[in-house]
Amino acid sequence: MAYREVHMTEIKEILLRIKRKESVRSISRTLGIHRDTINKYISICLDLGVDPRADAITDKLVEKIRKELAPGNKPSHIPRDEILLPHKEKIETYLEKGLKGSKIMILLARDGINIGESSFYRFINTRCENYIRKNITVRLPETEPGKYAQADFGYMGLIWDEESGRMRKVHALILTLCSSRYMYVYLTFSQNIRAVIEGFEEGWDHFGGITQIVIIDNLKPAVDKSDKYNPKINRQFLEYAQDRGFIVDPANAGHAKGKPIVERAVPYVRDNFFKGENFISLGDCRQRAIEWCVSIAGKRIHGTTQKIPLEVFENLEKEALMPYPDKRYDIPFWAVCKVHPDHHIRFKDSLYSVPTKYISKTVDVKGDSALVKIYRKGVLIKIHKRMEPGKRSTDFDDYPKELAPYTLRNPKYQIAEGYRRAEKIGKFIEGILTGPYPWHRLRSAQKILRLSDKYGAQRMSAALTKAEAYSIYDMRRIENMLKNNVEDVLPKKEDTVQLKLGDPKFLRNCQSFNHYRKE
């Protein structure tokens, strides 16, 4: 086995961890030292008559172990280098192609090159320059106070939902200020854009201000399509960011090192705050999350900055934030609706009218608590007041000009149109629409106007004159007069029967109606 130089402090740290009853596997994972090396230290201690789990760990003991590990009898060469150096170029080619170390070891074994896993990885980490450079990480400089915040969404667990009467999954939106590391946690049952905006609003209100830039960890509700160079941000979230004055900066998908501040926030909140607690409801969980952010997460000594986040926030970052308006953001709903033949769209169980030319077309609808705005291909075409479910908002100017009065049941338009065509037509329409009238009278007036346009005002006037003489108000009979061209044939006096008072009602003998009489 190749010799690995160790230092006094490393040996002592291993022995102290063993004395604290830590497992060999845990020490290996934490310090990056192979388990065989740790077991060798334990074996040397036992050979020296010292039990590292019970006896004191002294500098003298460490020095003895150090001497036992001295390279006096160790080989001066490294066997793995003798085996792998002749094939370094081939290994680097495999690495450039993106092959994993396990696959490269299989390919080498086919060529008769066999080596242990740890020795192979130690070789590529010390001898393959391109691979070493690929895994280099540089630490970004500390951000200016009030400039950056990072946000992430993560699953917490189950909470009782009072509305549905069952346990439901709850998620946390975590908003962290990059300079002070002070955070806010917003719990929600939903992972939609409204929940994201509500969480941001609660966070800004808690901080008392807004950062200039927000780095979001590709939240699905806020980022429609993640891309390294051209991410597509959700339109509703982008409008919210524009209203509040901050810039949205989606993180590079699959690149955890690009968002280190928020990367470990979700497991931290889940393990330190959520797990092991009993929450009565979502409201109780939210309130206790705020208390935890202030009293626990805010007052801890942060591992990176070695400062208390809440103190840094209060003393330095809070005053650098952009002001947060007192009025909460009115979160709108967006929908794609189709304009129906009745000139209306259906949005949130309410009806809103749209001009005739948009019938059968699809429109984008944006509705907040006050207004409903309707867009066609990005152009605003209509604005309505927000209506309650089951109600409707109709602008009668959206209807064709000739149909609007009909929908309003207003007779003035039909009467005026009748007089505009002819005096007789206007008087006839005025007569049938005077006082309370059923709906079909208005339809009759419209029929008269259409017939006058078809057959002419003069013929229509004659037909109405004849209709009045015979007391005819059936539009079909009046139309038949015009079709048969008999509107000018007026009744004569001799055609009518004048019955005097006392005259019999029947000119035939009443016995003639007895069909059962005997001859």
Q: Where are the domains of the chain?
A: 8-73, 79-134, 148-323, 333-393, 404-495
Q: Count of H helices and E strands in the chain?
A: 21, 16
pLDDT, tens digit, for every residue of 188-239? 998 888 899 999 999 999 999 999 988 887 778 888 887 777 788 888 888 8
Torsion of CA 56, 59, 64, 68, to 10 degrees: 100
Give the whole-angstrom CA distance, residue 74 versus residue 1: 9
Inter-residue contact 113 to 87 (CB < 8 Å): yes
Stronger pLDDT, 305 or 293, i.e. the higher one: 293
pLDDT, tens digit, for every residue of 3-51? 455 567 778 788 888 888 888 888 887 777 888 888 888 888 888 888 8
- Mean pLDDT over 52-57 rounds to 81
Task: Tell me the torsion sign for CA atoms 397, 400, 402, 406.
Answer: negative
Inter-residue contact 335 to 363 (CB < 8 Å): no
Rg of the chain on CA atoms, in Å: 45
Q: Got the DSSP string for 78-125?
A: -HHHHHHGGGHHHHHHHHHTT--HHHHHHHHHHTT----HHHHHHHHH
Provide the CATH topology of domain 148-323.
Nucleotidyltransferase; domain 5 (3.30.420)
Inter-residue contact 61 to 45 (CB < 8 Å): yes
What is the pTM for the complete model shown? 0.56
Q: Which of 204, 186, 199, 208 is nearest to 286 (CA)?
A: 186
- Mean pLDDT over 318-339 rounds to 90
Give the whole-angstrom CA distance, residue 389 versus residue 352: 11
Per-residue model confidence (pLDDT) at position 37: 83
Q: Which of 49, 48, 56 is nearest to 18 (CA)?
A: 56
Q: DSSP class of residue 165? A: T
Describe the chain by its helix, strand, coil percentages, rounded to 5: 45, 15, 40
Question: What is the overall mean pLDDT for the chain?
Answer: 82
pLDDT surpasses 70 at 403:
no
Inter-residue contact 4 to 41 (CB < 8 Å): no
pLDDT surpasses 60 at 131:
yes
- Residue 296's pLDDT band (boundaries 50, 70, 90)? very high
